[in-house]
Amino acid sequence: MSRFTVERMREHAASIFQAGLEAVEPERCVRRFVRLEGKRLLVGDRAHDLARFDRVLAVGAGKASPRMGLALEDVLGDRLSDGAMNTKYGHSVPLRRIELTECGHPVPDQAGVAGTDRILDLLRGAGERTLVLCLISGGGSALMPAPVDGITLRDKQETTDLLLACGANIVELNAVRKHLSRVKGGGLARAAFPATVVSLILSDVVGDPLDVIASGPTVPDASTFATCVEILGKYDLLHRVPAAVRSRFEAGVEGKIPDTAKPGDAVLGRCQNLLVGNNGLAVEAARKRAEDLGYHTLVLSTRVEGEAREVAHAYAAVAKEIATSPRPVSRPACVIAGGETTVTVRGAGKGGRNQELVLAGAMDISGWDGIVLFSGGTDGTDGPTDAAGAVADGETVARADAAGRPAAEYLENNDAYHFFEALGDLVITGPTGTNVADVALVLVGEGGGSKENRFPKSLW
Amino acid sequence: MSRFTVERMREHAASIFQAGLEAVEPERCVRRFVRLEGKRLLVGDRAHDLARFDRVLAVGAGKASPRMGLALEDVLGDRLSDGAMNTKYGHSVPLRRIELTECGHPVPDQAGVAGTDRILDLLRGAGERTLVLCLISGGGSALMPAPVDGITLRDKQETTDLLLACGANIVELNAVRKHLSRVKGGGLARAAFPATVVSLILSDVVGDPLDVIASGPTVPDASTFATCVEILGKYDLLHRVPAAVRSRFEAGVEGKIPDTAKPGDAVLGRCQNLLVGNNGLAVEAARKRAEDLGYHTLVLSTRVEGEAREVAHAYAAVAKEIATSPRPVSRPACVIAGGETTVTVRGAGKGGRNQELVLAGAMDISGWDGIVLFSGGTDGTDGPTDAAGAVADGETVARADAAGRPAAEYLENNDAYHFFEALGDLVITGPTGTNVADVALVLVGEGGGSKENRFPKSLW
């Protein structure tokens, strides 16, 4: 009997996903790159001589940052002088030296402003003999609100809302927001100058663009005040944004106030940015586990974006190819894809991008033998649900049909949660405390099998 | 200097696509599977003893069928007794024994009905000592209209239009149409009974479902009269379709008239269906050429479907992965994908699914070095245009921008044709006389390169 029955493959998928999650646990990510060796702090391929520093501070923000802090406190012990970080409500862990502030996400609040002030206060005392360790993770942008002088949090929010209403893209939004912040776009590194800054970054953004993750508090910014004026002009918003915003941008263009940090700026000269975890790490660990389970593996990409139900078609196309040919990888096969899809919500149902992807994929593979689809968010929270994602096979749609739950209607209504809940096919991990976007799995058993090859062999 | 500059890679892409086209030339497909050896006609893995037959007939329909006929006449010479085939206006080639009828496509016309009558007349005389060679290719369904007695072509069209207006899917449409036809759903094989029938099929349908290609004139049908009544009931059309259609379906359900041919039916017992060409054949030939050119190759699937601009995201995600990692295949890399995407038309522009896919993909890879995207229809006709598809690289969007042609606007307006026409980046092959859906290529040069990795190395 094959070791790759659909039932076993469903268990395998859960195990493969779990291996991915474990690889990106915040503590593990920090420990993998940060080590104390005598008086030297090894961070990635660099060594920092602790004898050169009077103080070692830990700052940062993000949903996974407290757990990164746990590992850092463990590694540094007494060498850590002080620390201040912001995280989302409910995301605290017991830290000894780092003061945690819980605050609003995704909408920033005054608690976030107060916490960020605390972080900036701490950095104000940083000098040449200070080492600042900055722990950055997903959510860090909203969790470190720090409007520049003369601009209120409400001004920032209003400007953001106007841009969103005009259909501005995320690059445009970020450019404008960085120019209204004391922290984003290298602002945190500037605040810490002339200290040595080591930024440990857990990436939740596809492609790991360091200037985008948490809005790049220690990373140079490619946009300028002129960019901002251009963007506001493009959407005819120059005279609709709060007057203080326009004044600031105009003063910036005239060179009266300094722009965000640029590549080569002295304020970034003592700054090391190190990616300590990303989707690729989870995907590689998943691949390794799949290989250990006996699958031939193929990682398609760690950068998959696009409408979830359409991406599902692509995965199903690969699954069917494997089931009916030796391409692109021989059976039993596990294809792994990372990234983050989106859902254009049209219905009134409940779901998330991973669940919707698996629902659409289930329709494509309906009636096929030996194929399992799985997709999950590494944070354990897919959309506004308590599930990380869902799993499906060739019988899923028929099982749901028999229970009076037509897949097409549930998909139409963006109601994947209730579709899979009734089948017992939600993937529930609970919040994982980390986030490196999503991992999708396509498993194809040894036999492969197509409902299309239903003609007697003798006909061929 | 690298052999894999973007300029060279564009030439390579054209050459790789061309290799795919050559592999599925109709003549070549027939010759690959049909051979005369003394008195034996070898077709695939079967041998037909020509001494057993008094007559050898050639029938069929499709856009590529005349060129399949050319090869067949060549192979059989004097052994071919007679023949009749239908093809689209303008698709004739000079045949000696096979009488060609040009007729309407995609909307069937009376010329088609007359031509199909000629085919059925020819088969009427077929007996046990007749060998019928049936040449089937894309378009064969519309090109062989043969309404059953009592039903007019207009009745069929009206029924089809009603179903389309209700949002019926292609499986439902085909079930109903097969039950109104003397040819579809095994009808042609039934007409030829008790002759031996060898059907040579050039597939234009993703996944090569033999009962779907040209509506399966020599292939068993899974649907029944009961299926048809159920479909009409589902859309509340039972009393809105022409009365003759309803009467026929009801008589069928009552067993008063025979259903379409089913698996195991005696009328199909002497029928060999052989796939002689499909997307996989083109894709494999393309892969071989890419390998010869020095690329590491990966065939993703021959079954890609979905919205063209969304599929483009998936290809771009794979391209970027290759450019920035050793996955899923090392550089220089050529990823090949076959299938047929769709376009939801919202704008008023001109284009086709391949051109739109490349336009959307060009936006994704904009600014990236060493990536070329290419997609083309193997029939040489992408949508209602004279182009087969288009090609793009990381500079394409910037080049168009500089010429005042913003990619986003052209995509929004479904106007990929004019976007690429202005750049000289349309792929023009002219009509190829064959059709096995589309072939898409993703080429990534040796270096790879990401605009996102724009930070100085020292920052890492």
Are B317 and A310 an interchain contact pair (Cβ–Cβ within 8 Å)?
no
Percent of chain A with pLDDT over 90: 92
Q: What is the mean pLDDT of each run of 10 residues along chain B (460 residues)?
A: 90 98 97 95 94 97 96 96 96 95 94 97 96 96 95 94 90 93 96 97 94 95 95 95 96 95 91 95 97 98 96 97 94 97 95 98 96 97 95 97 96 98 96 94 82 35
Complex ipTM tops 0.85: yes
Same domain, A321 and A369: yes
Distance, in Å, from the CA atom of A122 to the CA atom of A100, rounded to the nearest integer, reads: 13
pLDDT at A170: 83
Q: Per residue in A23-76, pLDDT tens? A: 999 999 999 999 999 999 999 999 999 999 999 999 999 999 999 999 999 999
Instruction: Answer whether residue A170 is part of any domain.
Output: no
Q: Which chain A positions have a beta carbon within 8 Å of B263's beta carbon? A: 455-456
pLDDT at B171: 86
Instruction: Answer whether residue A159 is part of any domain.
Output: no
How far is residue B347 from each of residues A237, B226, B413, B415, B420, measured CA to CA in Å?
A: 27, 40, 4, 8, 16
Same domain, B84 and B118: yes
Instruction: Answer whether residue A414 is part of any domain.
Output: yes
Same domain, A331 and A286: yes
E-assigned strand segments in A279-407 = 296-304, 333-339, 371-377, 389-393
Write down the pTM of the prediction.
Answer: 0.90
In whole numbers, what is the pLDDT of chain A averaged over residues? 94
Are A310 and B305 an interchain contact pair (Cβ–Cβ within 8 Å)?
no
Distance, in Å, from the CA atom of B26 to the CA atom of B30, rounded to the nearest integer, reads: 6
Instruction: Answer whether residue B1 is part of any domain.
Output: no
Size of interface A-B (CB pairs under 8 A): 135
CA dihedral over A319, A323, A327, A330, signed as positive or negative: positive
Same domain, A87 and A191: yes
Same domain, A205 and A333: no
Name the token pair of A5: 């029955």
Name the token pair of B158: 């009206």
- Interhelix angle B153-165/B243-253, nearest 10 degrees: 90
Domain total for chain A? Answer: 2
Q: Per residue in A254-293, pLDDT tens? A: 999 999 999 989 989 899 999 999 999 999 999 999 999 9
Same domain, A33 and A130: yes
Are B306 and A310 an interchain contact pair (Cβ–Cβ within 8 Å)?
yes
* pLDDT exceeds cutoff 50 at A116: yes
Q: What is the nearest CA distance from B202 to chain A, expressed in angstroms?
A: 14
* B89-93 contact pairs (CB < 8 A, 24+): B91/B63, B91/B66, B91/B433, B92/B66, B93/B66, B93/B67, B93/B69
Are A321 and B305 an interchain contact pair (Cβ–Cβ within 8 Å)?
no
Instruction: Answer whether residue B44 is part of any domain.
Output: yes
pLDDT at B169: 86
Same domain, B326 and B295: yes
Q: Which chain B positions have a beta carbon within 8 Å of A298's beta carbon? A: 328
pLDDT at A454: 36
pLDDT at B135: 98
Q: What is the nearest CA distance from A318 to chain B, expressed in angstroms?
A: 5
How far is residue B94 from each of residues B73, B89, B100, B135, measured CA to CA in Å?
A: 11, 14, 9, 16
Q: Which chain B positions have a beta carbon within 8 Å of A306's beta carbon? A: 310, 313-314, 317
Same domain, B272 and B409: no
Instruction: Answer whether residue B375 is part of any domain.
Output: yes
Q: Please classify residue B404 by burial: count the beta carbons closer than 10 Å to its beta carbon, then call 0-12 exposed, 13-18 middle and 19+ buried.
A: exposed
Same domain, A10 and A56: no
Q: Which chain B positions have a beta carbon within 8 Å of A456's beta carbon? A: 263-264
Domain CATH code at residue A340: 3.40.1480.10
Domain CATH code at residue A190: 3.40.50.10180
Nearest alpha carbon to residue A130 among A195, A190, A72, A189 = A195
| DSSP helix/strand/coil, B142 | coil
Q: What is the nearest CA distance from B244 to chain A, expressed in angstroms?
A: 32
Closest-CA residue of chain A to B455: A263
Report the run of H or E that residue A114 belongs to, with start and end: helix A110-124
pLDDT at A274: 95
Same domain, B196 and B341: no
Residue span of the structural domain in which A207 resides: 25-146+181-223+260-277
Same domain, A195 and A321: no
Are A302 and B314 an interchain contact pair (Cβ–Cβ within 8 Å)?
no
| DSSP helix/strand/coil, B178 | helix
Q: What is the nearest CA distance from A279 to chain B, expressed in angstroms?
A: 12
Same domain, B264 and B285: no
